[in-house]
C-alpha cells in the first residue's frame, strides 16, 4: 500500500487561522463523545479525532456529524489517511489555549494504513502563564518530566494514541540540542535549557502563543523609557520596545523585575537573540506594529547579544505608514505611523501646563504628503535638536493622534523619529514629489479648524454619534454619516428671506406686495426664497433630524430655492411631492455639525448639514476593511 | 435557486462541486467562443466553460455564476457582463479582501438565506 504524503506543518497552520489549505492528515485516535441532545433518533454521537500531519498531532478535532457514517462503516478508523476539505478553528477559550478544529468536510483517501512518522503532540501553552506550567499535555516516558498534572482544559488523549517517540532521544536533564519535533518539558525543572538554541531561529511573523520552543534574532528598533504606573494590584513599572527582523516586527514589554533587568541590557539599534517570552493578542490602541500579537518578557526569558557582524541582515525598523489624510478617520489618542516632508518648522515655544504648572518646550512643524498636511508637535530635547530647514522627509513611528482643531500629531516619549529613512520607498517618492510639485502645492490641512466644508471628518454611525455625545462640548463637533433621508418637512422647506445681501432673516409678508425685515428695519417690495429644510436621516443604527440650508439643500433636492419657492407659490403639490420623493431613500454621505443649544430648561443637540456628497464606494469599503482589521486581534 | 458562494481563484479547489460566483477580468476568449480565461480577484487564472457562446470582451470585468467541476474549472450557467462605466471605479483588490472576509466569517455573511 503506497503511503500517502502527509502535509507537515498544516495542523499548526490551521490553528493559526489559515483554513483554506486542504491538508492530508492521518487519524491517530478516535474518541466517541455522547452529546445530550433532544435528538430522538439517538444519532447524537460526536466523534473527536486526533490528527497527525506526520510531525505533529492535535487531539481536539471534532468531526462534523454528517460524516459520522464514515466511522460507523469502518471507512474512517485509526491510521486512516484523510484529506481535509473544509475546516474551521473554534476558539473556546483562547486565553488558555483551548482551541478546536471543526472538520466540516473531509474525504478518506486510504482506510487502512500504517502509522506514518513519529509525530509529537503540538504544544498548547497557556498564553498568560507561559512558565512551562501551562497545559503540558506531553506524556513522555521520562517520569521526571510529567510534573504538571493534565489540566482541565483539554481532556488528555488516551495514552495509547499519544507520543510514539520510537528511538528518538527524549529530553534529558542535561543541556542538549533538541531533536526535531516539538519536545516540550517543564521549562525550568527538567532539561534546564538556559542557553539560546541558535538552530531554532524563526521569523517574528510566525510567532504565536501556541508555540513553546522558539528563538528570534531581532533588532531593538525602538526602546522606550521606564514608566511607573499604579493599578489595583499596586505600583509597578514597565518599558516597551519594538523588535524587528526581516519578516516583521513585534512589540515587547517588560514589567518590574524584568523591566529593570532588560532595560539596562537592551540597547537601541542592537541585535539580540530572544527566547521564552509570553505572547498574547496585541492591544491595538497603542500597539500599531504590524503583528497580531505582542510579547511580554517574563522570568524565563533569555536574551543574548548577537555577535558583531551576525546581525547585519536585520533591518533597522519596520514602518506601517498611513497616508496623512487617513489620520482624520482614526480615533484621537491612538498612535500611528506616518511619513511626510517637513514644509515648515516653527521656533521653539515654551508653554506652561495648567494642570501641573510645569514648563514644556515644544516645536511645531507642518508635515505634508501628496494629499494632505498636518501639524506635528515635538517636545523637549527632540524639539530642540530638530532642524527642518532642508525640508527633510521625516518618518514617525508610534506618534499620537490628537483632535485639537481637527487632527494633529504629537510625539510620545516612545515615538521614533527617522530622518530620510532608507527602509522605505516612500522617502524617495516623497522627495521627488515635493521637489517637483509638492513645495508649491496648497494641501488640505487637517489641523486647520476653520473651514467647515473642507474639514475632513470621521465617519460614524448615528448611534455612535449619540453614544459619544458629539456636540455636548464647548465647541461644535463635525462628523460624517452614511445615511439616507427618510422624512422631510416639505411645507416649510423654503422661507421668504430678506433680499438684503448679508441679512438672511425671514421677512413678514404684509400681503400687499411689501415685505418687512425686522433686522434691517426696512420694508422691501421683493424677497428671496431660501432653504431651511428639516429632514430626518437614517442609517442602520438610528434616525436623526437635521437642518439643511443653502447649497446643501440644493444638492439634496436638486433644484434652487427660487425654483422650489415658485412651485410653492403655484401650489404645485404633485411636483413638490415628486421632488421630495426623489430626494429620499438615496444613500449619501452627510457631513454634519453637532452643537448643543439651550431651549428653556432643555439642552438639545442640533445637527446642521454642512456638506452632502455621493458615496465613494471604494473608499467606503476600504474604511470598513480597515475597521474590521482593527477589531480582530487574532484570527477567528 | 441555489445560492452561490463568492470565491476567488485560490478557493476554487475548496468549492469543488459547489455553486460559486466569481468576479474577474476576462483575460482571453477562446476562438470557439465557449471558453474564457478569467483573471480572478486574487490574480489567478481560471478556465470558464459555457454551453453557449459568450459575448464578452477581453479586459472587461464579468461575474460568472456556475459550478466548480472536478478539473477546477467553472461550468458556467450565467455570465453577468458589466458595462465599462459600471466597472470604471471597481476596486478589484478590495473585492478580493471582501471575498476572503466572507470565507473567514461565514457566520456573519449569509449565503443560504
Reported as a single tens digit per residue, the pLDDT across B83-105 is: 888 888 888 988 998 999 888 88
Domain boundaries, chain B: 3-99
Chosen for mutation from B91, B95, B96 (greatest number of chain A CBs closer than 10 Å) is B91
Given a contact cutoff of 8 angstroms between Cβ atoms, the answer to whether A44 and A36 are in contact is yes
Q: Does A635 touch chain B (CB under 8 A)?
A: yes
| Beta bridge pairs of residue A401 | A409
A394 backbone dihedrals φ, ψ, rounded to 5° = -120, 135
Number of H helices, E strands in chain A: 10, 30
Which of A316, A288, A314 lies closest to A418 in space, CA to CA? A316
Q: What share of chain B is helix, strand, coil (3-state, %, to 5)?
A: 20, 35, 40
Cα A458 to Cα A402, A589, A620: the distances in Å are 13, 11, 12
Look at A20 and B14 and tell me if their CB atoms are within 8 Å: yes
Closest alpha carbon within chain A to B99: A625
Chosen for mutation from A7, A23, A24, A625 (greatest number of chain B CBs closer than 10 Å) is A625
Q: What is the pLDDT of residue A96?
A: 57
Candidates B13, B94, B106; nearest CB to A625: B94
Look at B10 and A20 and tell me if their CB atoms are within 8 Å: yes
Candidates B11, B91, B97; nearest CB to A20: B11
Distance, in Å, from the CA atom of A77 to the CA atom of A67, rounded to the nearest integer, reads 12
From chain A, the residues in CB contact with B104 under 8 A are: 17, 635-636
Would you call A176 exposed, middle or buried from its count of C-beta atoms within 10 A (0-12, 13-18, 19+)?
middle
Say if domain A10-35+43-121 classifies as CATH 2.40.50.140: yes
Per-residue cell: A554: 440644493
Pick the CATH number of A324-437 from 2.60.40.10, 3.80.10.10, 3.90.79.10, 2.40.50.140: 2.40.50.140
A629 band by pLDDT with thresholds 50, 70 and 90: confident
Q: What is the pLDDT of residue A445?
A: 74
Which of A337, A341, A441 lies closest to A388 in space, CA to CA? A341
Chosen for mutation from B13, B86, B104 (greatest number of chain A CBs closer than 10 Å) is B104
pLDDT above 70 covers a percentage of chain A that reads 82
Would you call A544 exposed, middle or buried from its count of C-beta atoms within 10 A (0-12, 13-18, 19+)?
buried
Pick the CATH number of B3-99 from 3.40.605.10, 1.10.150.120, 2.40.50.140, 3.20.190.10: 2.40.50.140
Q: Give the length of chain B.
A: 113
Least confident of A68-72, A194-198, A438-442: A194-198
Given a contact cutoff of 8 angstroms between Cβ atoms, the answer to whether A48 and A72 are in contact is no
| Beta bridge pairs of residue A393 | A341
From chain B, the residues in CB contact with A622 under 8 A are: 91, 94
Chosen for mutation from A106, A618, A619, A634 (greatest number of chain B CBs closer than 10 Å) is A618
Q: Which residues have C-beta within 8 Å of that of residue A562, sequence separation ≥ 6?
A: A528, A529
Task: Sort residue A591 into left (φ over 0), alpha (ψ -120 to 50) or beta.
Answer: beta
Which residues, numbered 587 to 616 in chain A, qualify as contacts with chain B under a Cβ-Cβ cut-off of 8 Å? 616
Report the run of H or E that residue A550 belongs to, with start and end: helix A550-557
**CB burial readout A44-56, b (16+ within 10 A) else e:** eeebbbbbbbbbb
Q: Does B98 touch chain A (CB under 8 A)?
A: yes
From chain B, the residues in CB contact with A86 under 8 A are: 14
Residue B73, pLDDT > 60, answer yes
Look at A20 and B98 and tell me if their CB atoms are within 8 Å: no
Candidates A17, A88, A621; nearest CB to B94: A621
Cα A415 to Cα A55, A230, A241, A367: the distances in Å are 43, 23, 11, 16
Distance, in Å, from the CA atom of B86 to the CA atom of B82, rounded to the nearest integer, reads 6
Q: What is the pLDDT of residue A117?
A: 87
Pick the CATH number of A459-622 from 3.40.630.30, 2.40.50.140, 3.30.70.580, 3.40.50.980: 2.40.50.140
Given a contact cutoff of 8 angstroms between Cβ atoms, the answer to whether B7 and B19 are in contact is no
A372 band by pLDDT with thresholds 50, 70 and 90: confident
Distance, in Å, from the CA atom of A5 to the CA atom of A25, rounded to the nearest integer, reads 8
From chain A, the residues in CB contact with B94 under 8 A are: 618, 621-622, 625
Which of A351, A604, A376 lies closest to A470 in space, CA to CA? A604
Q: Which residues have C-beta within 8 Å of that of residue A74, sequence separation ≥ 6?
A: A111
Least confident of A175-189, A238-252, A510-524: A175-189
Q: What is the pLDDT of residue A315?
A: 79
| Beta bridge pairs of residue A46 | A33
From chain B, the residues in CB contact with A635 under 8 A are: 104
- Location of C-alpha cell 530622518: A419
Q: Does B104 touch chain A (CB under 8 A)?
A: yes
Pseudo-torsion of CA A562, A567, A569, A571, nearest 10°? Answer: -170
Look at A618 and B101 and tell me if their CB atoms are within 8 Å: no
Least confident of A12-26, A148-162, A188-202: A148-162
Q: Does B91 touch chain A (CB under 8 A)?
A: yes
Q: Between chain A and chain B, how many beta carbons pairs sit less than 8 Å apart?
A: 30
Least confident of A19-33, A142-156, B32-46: A142-156
Q: Where are the beta strands (DSSP E) in A122-233?
A: 215-223, 227-231
Given a contact cutoff of 8 angstroms between Cβ atoms, the answer to whether A344 and A272 are in contact is no
Q: What is the pLDDT of residue A164?
A: 32
Q: What is the pLDDT of residue B82?
A: 92
Q: What is the pLDDT of residue A481?
A: 94
Pick the CATH number of A201-305 from 3.10.129.10, 3.30.420.10, 2.60.120.330, 2.40.50.140: 2.40.50.140
Would you call A485 exposed, middle or buried from its count of C-beta atoms within 10 A (0-12, 13-18, 19+)?
buried
> Mind listing the pLDDT tens digit for each residue in A102-124?
898 899 999 998 988 888 888 76
SS3 A272: strand
Distance, in Å, from the CA atom of A572 to the CA atom of B5, rounded to the nearest integer, reads 50
A489 band by pLDDT with thresholds 50, 70 and 90: very high
Q: What is the pLDDT of residue A80?
A: 93
Look at A621 and B101 and tell me if their CB atoms are within 8 Å: no
Distance, in Å, from the CA atom of A485 to the CA atom of A400, rounded to the nearest integer, reads 36
DSSP letter assigned to residue B16 = B
Cα A295 to Cα A25, A255, A276, A278, A412: the distances in Å are 32, 12, 10, 6, 21
Q: Rounded to two decimals, what is the model's pTM?
A: 0.43
Residue A167, pLDDT > 60, answer no
Higher-confidence residue: A186 or A432? Answer: A432
Distance, in Å, from the CA atom of A532 to the CA atom of A549, rounded to the nearest integer, reads 5
Highest mean pLDDT among A268-272, A345-349, B43-47: B43-47
Mean pLDDT of A73-77: 91
Residue A402, pLDDT > 50, answer yes
Q: What is the pLDDT of residue A480?
A: 92
Distance, in Å, from the CA atom of A300 to the CA atom of A112, rounded to the nearest integer, reads 45
Task: Sort residue A411 into left (φ over 0), alpha (ψ -120 to 50) or beta.
Answer: beta
Domain boundaries, chain A: 10-35+43-121, 201-305, 324-437, 459-622
Look at B98 and A625 and tell me if their CB atoms are within 8 Å: yes
Q: What is the pLDDT of residue A291?
A: 81
Amino acid at each position: 500500500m503506497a503511503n500517502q504524503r502527509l502535509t507537515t506543518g498544516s495542523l499548526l497552520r490551521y490553528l493559526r487561522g489559515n483554513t483554506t489549505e486542504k491538508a492530508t492528515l492521518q487519524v491517530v485516535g478516535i474518541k466517541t463523545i455522547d452529546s445530550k441532545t433532544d435528538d430522538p433518533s439517538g444519532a447524537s454521537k460526536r466523534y473527536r479525532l486526533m490528527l497527525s500531519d506526520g510531525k505533529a498531532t492535535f487531539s481536539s478535532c471534532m468531526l462534523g456529524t454528517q460524516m459520522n457514517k464514515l466511522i460507523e462503516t469502518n471507512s474512517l478508523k485509526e491510521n486512516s489517511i484523510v484529506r481535509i476539505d473544509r475546516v474551521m478553528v473554534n476558539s473556546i477559550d483562547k486565553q488558555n489555549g483551548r482551541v478546536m478544529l471543526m472538520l466540516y468536510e473531509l474525504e478518506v483517501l486510504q482506510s487502512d494504513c500504517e502509522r506514518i512518522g513519529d509525530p509529537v503532540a503540538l504544544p498548547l501553552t497557556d498564553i498568560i502563564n507561559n512558565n512551562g506550567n501551562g497545559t503540558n499535555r506531553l506524556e513522555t516516558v521520562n517520569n521526571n518530566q510529567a510534573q504538571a498534572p493534565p489540566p482541565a482544559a483539554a481532556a488528555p488523549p488516551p495514552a495509547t494514541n499519544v507520543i510514539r517517540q520510537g528511538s528518538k532521544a527524549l529530553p534529558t536533564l542535561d543541556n542538549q540540542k533538541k531533536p526535531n519535533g516539538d519536545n516540550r518539558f517543564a521549562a525550568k525543572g527538567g532539561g534546564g535549557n538556559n542557553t539560546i538554541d541558535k538552530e531554532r531561529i524563526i521569523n517574528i511573523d510566525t510567532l504565536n502563543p501556541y508555540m513553546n520552543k522558539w528563538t528570534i534574532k531581532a533588532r531593538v528598533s525602538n526602546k522606550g523609557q521606564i514608566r511607573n504606573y499604579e493599578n489595583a494590584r499596586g505600583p509597578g513599572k514597565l518599558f516597551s520596545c519594538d523588535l524587528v527582523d526581516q519578516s516583521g516586527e513585534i512589540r515587547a514589554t517588560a514589567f518590574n523585575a524584568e523591566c529593570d533587568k532588560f532595560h539596562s541590557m537592551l540597547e537601541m539599534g542592537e541585535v539580540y537573540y530572544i527566547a521564552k517570552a509570553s505572547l498574547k493578542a496585541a492591544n491595538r490602541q497603542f500597539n500599531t506594529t504590524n503583528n497580531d500579537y505582542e510579547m511580554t518578557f517574563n522570568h524565563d526569558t533569555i536574551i543574548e547579544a548577537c555577535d558583531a557582524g551576525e546581525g547585519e541582515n536585520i533591518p533597522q525598523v519596520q514602518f506601517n505608514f498611513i497616508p496623512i489624510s487617513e489620520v482624520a478617520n482614526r480615533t484621537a489618542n491612538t498612535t500611528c505611523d506616518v511619513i511626510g516632508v517637513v514644509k515648515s518648522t516653527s521656533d521653539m515655544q515654551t508653554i506652561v501646563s495648567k494642570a501641573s504648572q510645569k514648563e514644556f518646550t515644544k516645536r511645531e512643524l507642518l508635515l505634508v504628503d501628496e494629499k494632505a498636511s498636518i501639524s506635528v508637535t515635538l517636545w523637549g530635547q527632540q524639539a530642540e535638536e530638530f532642524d527642518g530647514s532642508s525640508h527633510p522627509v521625516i518618518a514617525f513611528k508610534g506618534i499620537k493622534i490628537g483632535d485639537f482643531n481637527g487632527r494633529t500629531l504629537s510625539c510620545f516619549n516612545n515615538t521614533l523619529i527617522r530622518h530620510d529613512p532608507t527602509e522605505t520607498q516612500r522617502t524617495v517618492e516623497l522627495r521627488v514629489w515635493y521637489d517637483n510639485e509638492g513645495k508649491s502645492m496648497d494641501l488640505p490641512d487637517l489641523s486647520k479648524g476653520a473651514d467647515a466644508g473642507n474639514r475632513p471628518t470621521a465617519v460614524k454611525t448615528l448611534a455612535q454619534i449619540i453614544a459619544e455625545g458629539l456636540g455636548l462640548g464647548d465647541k461644535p463637533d463635525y462628523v460624517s454619516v452614511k445615511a439616507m433621508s427618510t422624512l422631510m418637512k416639505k411645507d416649510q422647506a423654503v422661507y421668504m428671506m430678506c433680499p438684503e445681501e448679508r441679512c438672511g432673516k425671514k421677512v413678514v409678508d404684509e400681503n400687499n406686495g411689501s415685505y418687512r425685515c425686522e433686522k434691517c428695519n426696512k420694508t422691501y417690495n421683493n424677497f428671496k426664497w431660501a432653504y431651511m429644510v428639516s429632514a430626518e436621516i437614517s442609517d442602520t443604527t438610528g434616525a436623526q433630524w437635521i437642518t439643511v440650508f443653502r447649497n446643501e439643500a440644493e444638492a439634496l433636492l436638486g433644484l434652487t430655492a427660487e425654483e422650489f419657492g415658485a412651485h410653492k407659490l403655484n401650489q404645485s403639490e404633485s411636483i413638490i411631492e415628486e421632488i421630495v420623493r426623489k430626494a429620499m431613500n438615496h444613500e449619501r454621505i452627510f457631513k454634519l455639525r453637532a452643537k448643543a443649544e439651550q431651549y428653556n430648561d432643555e439642552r438639545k443637540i442640533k445637527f446642521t448639514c454642512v456638506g452632502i456628497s455621493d458615496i465613494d464606494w471604494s473608499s467606503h469599503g476600504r474604511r470598513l476593511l480597515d475597521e474590521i482589521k482593527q477589531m480582530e486581534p487574532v484570527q477567528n | 435557486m441555489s445560492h452561490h458562494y463568492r470565491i476567488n481563484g485560490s478557493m476554487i479547489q475548496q468549492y469543488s462541486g459547489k455553486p460559486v460566483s466569481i468576479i474577474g477580468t476576462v483575460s482571453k476568449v477562446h476562438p470557439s467562443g465557449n471558453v474564457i480565461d478569467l483573471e480572478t480577484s486574487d490574480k489567478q487564472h481560471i478556465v470558464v466553460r459555457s454551453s453557449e457562446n459568450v459575448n464578452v470582451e477581453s479586459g472587461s470585468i464579468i461575474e460568472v455564476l456556475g459550478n466548480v467541476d472536478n478539473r477546477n474549472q467553472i461550468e458556467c450557467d450565467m455570465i453577468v457582463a458589466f458595462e465599462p462605466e459600471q466597472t470604471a471605479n471597481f476596486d478589484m483588490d478590495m473585492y478580493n479582501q471582501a471575498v476572503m472576509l466572507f470565507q473567514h466569517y461565514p457566520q456573519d455573511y449569509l449565503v443560504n438565506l
